[in-house]
Amino acid sequence: MSHMENALYSPYGAFELKAKYQRNFGIASLSMLAFVLAILATFWIIAAMEDDVVIGGNAPVVIQTIADLGPPPAIVKKPPQVKVDQPNVQAPKVGIPKPVADDEVMDDDVMLATREEMAEIVAPDIVSDASDDIIVDINEEDYLPSIDEFVPVEEIAQMIQHVQPEYPRLAEQAGLEGLVWIKALVSADGNVREAVVYKSSGTQSLDEAALKVAKDNKFRPAIQNGRPVAMWVTYKVDFQVPD
């Protein structure tokens, strides 16, 4: 009986391990925590030492992409800049105002001429009768614009007398029809100074017939600032075979 009790209550075996495992587990946990803290402290010290090291007085540049490299340095050497001395310019001197005569003093109460008054001063007289004929007193040496020049006007030139060109005989017999666009330079007196074929009809004889009588047409000149001016205009000539 005593032998059996000694076997059940022996101080060795699982009972002894259970009695000491809490102390061993605590020691192992503290040792592992100390090891982890030591590793973290080592990394922190190394990082702090790298931040304190400055190469050439500037922080290191980290290149992550090709775009961070920037443009390559110029191969061609630039010539040295020449220093140019600034001119010695003296500051203006402000003197004492001198009295002048009354007739030399500018009048503050000045009335400027209006647009209509200026037009009456410089514009020539335009005389018109019932037949729409215009007589304009214009100097022949007035400026004539180029064919592509834009002329700002209040009223564009209007055709008041159209001369119908003669239908070319051969083209009429062949039944050729077409539309010719003529570009004409209308002077300030309403006459056609120059004319060109702006858009062809496709038939040379029709183009030549329309251009031949272009200078026989009459226009009401364009008006700019109340006075007639020269400008280029475009009109069409339609050739249709009569039925």
Spatial separation of the C-alpha atoms in residues 237 and 165, rounded to whole Å? 8
Report yes or no: 171 and 236 within 8 Å, Cβ to Cβ.
Answer: no
Instruction: Give the per-residue pLDDT at 208.
Output: 93
CATH class label, 127-239: alpha beta
Tokens of 146: 């180029």
Report yes or no: 191 and 134 within 8 Å, Cβ to Cβ.
Answer: no
Spatial separation of the C-alpha atoms in residues 105 and 101, rounded to whole Å? 7
pLDDT in tens, the chain (243 residues): 445 455 455 555 566 666 677 778 888 888 888 888 989 888 888 888 876 554 445 556 666 666 666 666 665 566 677 777 766 766 666 666 777 666 665 555 556 666 666 655 544 455 544 455 555 554 544 678 998 888 899 999 999 999 999 999 998 888 889 999 999 999 999 999 999 999 999 999 999 999 999 999 999 999 998 899 999 999 999 998 887
**Buried b or exposed e, range 143-179, using 16+ CB within 10 angstroms:** eeeeeeeeeeeeeebeeeeeeebebbeebbeeebbbe
Domain ranges of the chain: 2-52, 127-239
What's the CA dihedral at 191, 197, 202, 205 to 10 degrees? Answer: 50
Instruction: Give the per-residue pLDDT at 142.
Output: 62
The radius of gyration of the chain from alpha carbons, rounded to an integer in Å, stands at 52
